[in-house]
Amino acid sequence: MKAFSSFLILTITIFAISCKSKMPDISKIHVNIEIQRLDKDLFAVPAHDPSWLRDRYGEFFDIYTEGVLGVGNSENPDFIANLNSFKNNEAVKIAENNVSKAFTDLDDLNRRLTSAFKYYKYHFPEKNIPALYSCISGFNQSVILTDSAIGISLEKYLGSDCSLYPMLGIAKYLSYNMKRDKITSDCLIAWAIGDWPYSNKDNNLASRIIYEGKLLYLAKQILCDEPDSLIFGFTDNQMKWCKNNETEMWRHLVQEQLLFSREPLIIRKLAEDAPYTSIFTQESPGKACNWIGYRIVCSYMDKSKDKSLKDLMENDNYMEILSKYKPS
Does the pLDDT of residue 18 top 60, yes or no?
Answer: no
Burial tier of 49 (Cβ tally within 10 Å: 0-12, 13-18, 19+): exposed
| Full-model pTM | 0.92
Does the pLDDT of residue 15 top 90, yes or no?
Answer: no
- pLDDT (average), residues 261-271: 96
pLDDT at position 7 = 34
Per-residue pLDDT tens digits for 282-326:
999 999 999 999 999 999 999 999 999 999 999 999 999 999 999
List, in sequence order, the alpha helices (H) in the chain. Answer: 38-44, 51-62, 79-88, 90-102, 107-123, 164-167, 172-175, 183-195, 205-222, 228-232, 236-244, 246-255, 264-271, 288-302, 309-314, 318-322
What residue segments make up the domains of the chain, in order of their start? 36-195, 197-322
Per-residue pLDDT tens digits for 174-232:
999 999 999 999 999 999 999 999 987 889 999 999 999 999 999 999 999 999 999 99
Inter-residue long-range contacts of 191-195, CB under 8 Å, 24+ positions, other chains counted: 191/117, 191/120, 191/130, 191/145, 191/150, 192/120, 192/218, 192/219, 192/313, 193/145, 194/145, 194/147, 195/124, 195/127, 195/313
Residue 89 to residues 69, 153, 190, 280, 326: CA-CA distances in angstroms?
12, 16, 29, 42, 54
